[in-house]
């Protein structure tokens, strides 16, 4: 069954034949009878970073739809040729203006509340070291103390922040060599 957020191809991206449903691996997937292309519609991987400074966390406020004015952690989609760590370094540079040194992995989250589709967020942490220069994707930023975090945090970034805190308290950070 297609979820509400699922965006489907109607035509084969390879040969332009109209796609039809076919039972594959017990799922009724869109399939091209001409060239055998199968539209798996897998979730998209995204890299995100919790940038912290003396226990405070950097959040950016979204300037555009969807989720306009919601607060979120910096990050974005992985480009085709990138590793996740290369992606988060590029995204941090683009969105907050400095080079980041990734320290550890906080967790991996399935994000099903983004109207653009289902994402898998790979969430890292790093120390905030640099002067913040926002891109036009965000119109505001703030370093929040944990007890002052805003209510409107997009995606599952609040959950990741809670996990980050818990990991830190228990000394359970998964360090990246
Ligand atoms: Zn085809």
DSSP assignments along the chain, one per residue? ---TT----SB-TTT-PBPEEEEETTEEEEE-TTT--EE--PPEEEEEEEEEETTEEEEEEE-SSSSTT-EE-SEEEPPTT--HHHHHHHHHHHHHSS-----EEEEEEEE---TT--EEEEEEEEE--S-----TTEEEEEEE-GGG--S-B-TTHHHHHHHHHHHHHHT--EE--
pLDDT of 5: 58
- Ligand 1 centre and the CA of 80: distance in Å? 22
- Ligand 1 centre and the CA of 1: distance in Å? 22
- Ligand 1 centre and the CA of 31: distance in Å? 8
Query: The whole model's pTM is what?
Result: 0.88
- Ligand 1 centre and the CA of 36: distance in Å? 6
- Ligand 1 centre and the CA of 30: distance in Å? 11
- Ligand 1 centre and the CA of 29: distance in Å? 14
Average pLDDT for runs of 10 along the chain of length 177 = 66 96 93 95 95 96 94 96 96 96 94 90 95 94 96 94 93 80
């Amino acid at each position: 069954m297609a979820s509400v957020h699922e965006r489907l191809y109607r035509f084969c991206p390879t040969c332009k034949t109209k796609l039809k449903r076919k039972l594959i691996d017990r799922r009724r997937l869109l399939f091209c009878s001409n060239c055998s292309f199968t539209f798996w519609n897998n979730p998209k991987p995204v890299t995100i970073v919790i940038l912290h400074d003396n226990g405070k966390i950097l959040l950016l406020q979204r300037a555009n739809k969807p989720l306009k004015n919601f607060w979120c952690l910096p990050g974005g989609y992985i480009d085709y040729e990138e590793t996740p760590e290369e992606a988060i370094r590029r995204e941090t540079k683009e969105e907050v203006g400095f080079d980041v040194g990734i320290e550890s992995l906080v967790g991996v989250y399935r994000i099903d509340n983004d109207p653009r589709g289902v994402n898998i967020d790979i969430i890292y942490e790093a120390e905030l070291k640099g002067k913040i220069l926002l891109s036009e994707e965000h119109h505001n930023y703030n370093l929040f103390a944990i007890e002052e975090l805003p209510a409107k945090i997009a995606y599952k970034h609040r959950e990741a922040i809670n996990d980050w805190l818990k990991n830190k308290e228990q000394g359970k950070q998964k360090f990246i060599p």
